[in-house]
């Protein structure tokens, strides 16, 4: 994205425009005939901004859940097959 703003708006919204620049938007303004571009010194790492999710129940075993699900599915299949 690309954003051109007058210097007065830049002065008023400096923090939100800096945040927009961090997110990848090129912010540009002109003052006394000179054009300025606001870009971060280092590009932001999108993967580094991901907040990890907390496991709901770390003591729950996926293996036992898979066995439980398979057993439940087999019971339903046998019920369906018995009706044939």
Cα separations (Å) of 1 from 27, 29, 57, 62?
A: 9, 15, 41, 43
The structural domain count of the chain equals 1
Amino acid 28: pLDDT? 93
Mean pLDDT, rounded, for 6-10: 90
Structural domain for 29, as ranges: 2-41+55-82
Q: Is residue 61 part of a domain?
A: yes
Q: Is residue 49 part of a domain?
A: no
Q: Is residue 46 part of a domain?
A: no
What CATH number did the domain enclosing 10 receive? Answer: 3.40.1620
What does the pLDDT look like over 19-30, one tens digit per residue?
A: 888 888 889 998
Q: Is residue 73 part of a domain?
A: yes
Taking a C-beta distance cutoff of 8 angstroms, is the pair 2, 25 a contact?
yes
Amino acid 44: pLDDT? 66
Q: Is residue 63 part of a domain?
A: yes
The pTM score is 0.48
What does the pLDDT look like over 44-75, one tens digit per residue?
A: 666 777 888 777 777 778 888 899 999 999 99
Q: Is residue 77 part of a domain?
A: yes
Is 70 exceeded by the pLDDT of residue 43? no
């Amino acid at each position: 994205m690309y954003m051109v703003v007058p210097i007065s708006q830049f002065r008023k919204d400096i923090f939100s425009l800096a945040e927009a620049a961090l997110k990848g938007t090129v912010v540009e303004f002109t003052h006394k005939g000179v054009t300025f571009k606001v870009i971060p010194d280092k590009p932001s790492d999108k993967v580094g901004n991901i907040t990890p999710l907390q496991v709901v129940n770390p003591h729950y075993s996926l293996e036992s859940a898979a066995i439980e699900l398979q057993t439940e599915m087999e019971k339903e299949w046998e019920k369906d097959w018995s009706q044939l």
